[in-house]
Amino acid sequence: MTFDYDLFVIGGGSGGVRAARIASGEYGAKVGLAEESRMGGTCVIRGCVPKKLMVFASAYPEAIAEAREYGWDVTAGGFDWTHFRTRLETELDRLEGAYRNTLKSAGVIIHDERAVIVDAHRVRLASGAEFTTKHILVATGGWPFVPDFPGRELAITSNEMFHLPVLPKRALVVGGGYIASEFACILKGLGVEVSQYYRGAQILRGFDDEARGHVANAMRQSGVDLHCGTDVMRLEKTAPGIRAVATDGTEREFDMVLYATGRRPNTAGLGLEALGLTLGRNGEIPVDKFSQTAVPSVFAVGDVTGRVNLTPVAIREGHAFADTVFGAKPTAFDHTLVASAIFTQPEMGSVGLSEEAAKEQEPIEVYSTAFRPMRTLFAGKQDRVLMKLIVSQSSRKVLGCHIVAPEAGEMIQLAAIAIGMGATKEDFDRTCAVHPTMAEELVTMRKPVRTA
């Protein structure tokens, strides 16, 4: 049978774009890609990239305060949100254009409209046009989830955060994951009075308990009004703003309420169920290690699969898919050791097992230290950083590394290389320290603080 395309990709985010580019540009496949929104997906348009730029913007007040302690005669003026937002939107336009040019240079045919699956080898565009294709790749990512409760229409999500007409004076962030915690820190740094409600006992569930506790304490010290064990019962529109009625009995007024209570795979209405696919509890697409679904011609990568929801993972999955299907090089991405960074202030970087997960697996040693870093100590600040290693008692391999510190994301990237290679605690010990740095503590901890 002759097909219109060798591959049709639904979704123009990081995973879909990488798969399309490699399949077409490196392996010569005829590839079509449909994107109903903006090219670049969540990461580029409404996620990692604009968020990190907001992180940078929010850090300047503390940097200016530190500069004064170092002898600089500097004073911070007011933050011009309109100026920043305009520059941000210009940068996102540039990045979207770069993604488009990359696809076009690779020979990918772009369709700027929604596509759905008709059957195992056919897709239909919103315009009504239909194409046959040998393979279909679903890479539609995720979408913010807001639970159903009275007044939910008054809340915004992370999608809208980068396009606010004005910054609020008082903001409530609901949620305890990395997105909620990052935005609480960002808003606080930009001069907003911030409260954060989370129904769980501690924010950043799933990460190392000691590390996430360290982040929570630092956020409170910076002025974030963090309430764990608290949820919103209802939101009400008032003349001054939005009243949040909470489960702890409080009623407070805010100018903006941001819900960051998780994301769900963006699979609704794609036609997957009609293919006979059974989706997961949250709508995720079950796939095997090669990203193939139960329908042999249909594959899925990225957040839509609910595996590890990180942009670099989606990129690696997309590349592995193209290598497997079009490059005759069966490749399965290993999800077991993926480093991550949370851009709170301070940042948290993690790779490998938490202390809690590791001790359930085998006997371990825990090496941990918290100290005041040189730069801010000199400036008279009381903040502390955390360095932590989880070590197997039997193999001596480092099973996990957790860092809470400025630039923790930069440090954990390098630690991930060593841990991925199977480095032991003795390998770390043999490494000469780079002094004076924060990261030198990773190679100078000689005695465990506890065993489990």
Dist. CA 111–CA 92, nearest whole Å: 20
Q: Which residues are catalytic?
A: 435
Tokens of residue 209, six digits: 């308990």
Task: Report whether 260 contacts 157 (CB < 8 A).
Answer: yes
Dist. CA 134–CA 297, nearest whole Å: 7
Dist. CA 215–CA 229, nearest whole Å: 17
Written as one letter, the residue type at 377 is L
Tokens of residue 404, six digits: 């809470």
Written as one letter, the residue type at 430 is R
Q: Return the SS3 of 107.
A: coil
Tokens of residue 153, six digits: 């229409």
Task: Report whether 397 contacts 391 (CB < 8 A).
Answer: yes
Dist. CA 430–CA 236, nearest whole Å: 60
Cα separations in angstroms, 222 against 65, 166, 212, 369: 13, 23, 15, 21
Dist. CA 396–CA 278, nearest whole Å: 42
Written as one letter, the residue type at 301 is V
